């Protein structure tokens, strides 16, 4: 029922706000006592539900459900960077990192450890066991972690100021993130 409600909410978002709001409330009510979503109490389902709730609703009950979902994901994080149980660590870690990074909007230990673990799982073709679904999810997750760098023109320094062809030049750049 959780998966169908997540999908329904995704389809309704931006199309029928009244129905989306009711669907978000229903989804929040399906949260398990351990703060997970779904009958399997897994990270991936919890992450998808939290992402949809965070994107479509801002009522106190749905925001609380999102925070509880993030708490559940955090409780499933392991020191080696994996998130979830051992049955499918790449899948759960991808979804867990995606949710924490997207909702919390910060690079915390869960996200950074998860990204390191995920990068270590890439094969020589930079994919996950040639699985297009996991690879696409990895590209989405890793792409969110790009620095927002700012280089102002006056922050570029060339030494010497007057250069000659064939002579070494040192360029220093002031970068702000």
pLDDT single digits (tens) 51-75: 999 988 888 999 999 999 999 999 9
Question: Considering just the CA atoms, what is the radius of gyration of the chain in Å?
Answer: 21
pTM of the model: 0.76
pLDDT value of residue 34:
97
CA contacts within 13 A on the Cβ side of 57: 30
Find the DSSP H helices in 57-88.
60-75
pLDDT value of residue 51:
93
pLDDT single digits (tens) 140-154: 888 776 655 666 767
CA distance 45 to 70: 12
CA distance 27 to 162: 65
CA distance 175 to 165: 27
User: Which pLDDT tens digits describe the chain residue by residue (177 residues)?
Assistant: 887 787 777 777 777 778 888 888 999 999 999 999 998 899 999 999 999 999 888 889 999 999 999 999 999 999 999 999 877 889 999 999 999 999 987 668 899 999 999 999 888 888 887 888 888 888 888 877 665 566 676 777 788 888 888 888 888 877 765
pLDDT value of residue 92:
94
């Amino acid at each position: 029922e959780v998966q169908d409600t997540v999908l329904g909410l995704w389809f309704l978002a931006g199309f029928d706000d009244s129905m989306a709001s009711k669907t978000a409330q229903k989804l929040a009510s399906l949260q398990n006592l351990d703060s997970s979503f779904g009958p399997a109490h897994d990270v991936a389902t919890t992450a998808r539900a939290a992402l949809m709730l965070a994107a479509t609703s801002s009522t106190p009950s749905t925001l609380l459900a999102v925070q509880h979902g993030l708490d559940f994901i955090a409780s499933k994080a392991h020191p080696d960077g994996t998130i979830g149980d051992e049955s499918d660590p790449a899948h759960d870690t991808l979804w867990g990192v995606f949710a924490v990074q997207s909702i919390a909007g910060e690079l915390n230990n869960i996200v950074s450890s998860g990204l390191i673990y995920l990068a270590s799982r890439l094969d020589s073709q930079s994919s996950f066991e040639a699985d297009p679904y996991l690879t696409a999810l990895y590209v989405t997750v890793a792409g969110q972690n790009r620095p927002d760098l700012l280089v102002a023109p006056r922050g570029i320094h060339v030494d010497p100021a007057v250069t000659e062809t064939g002579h070494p030049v040192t360029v220093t750049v002031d970068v702000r993130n």
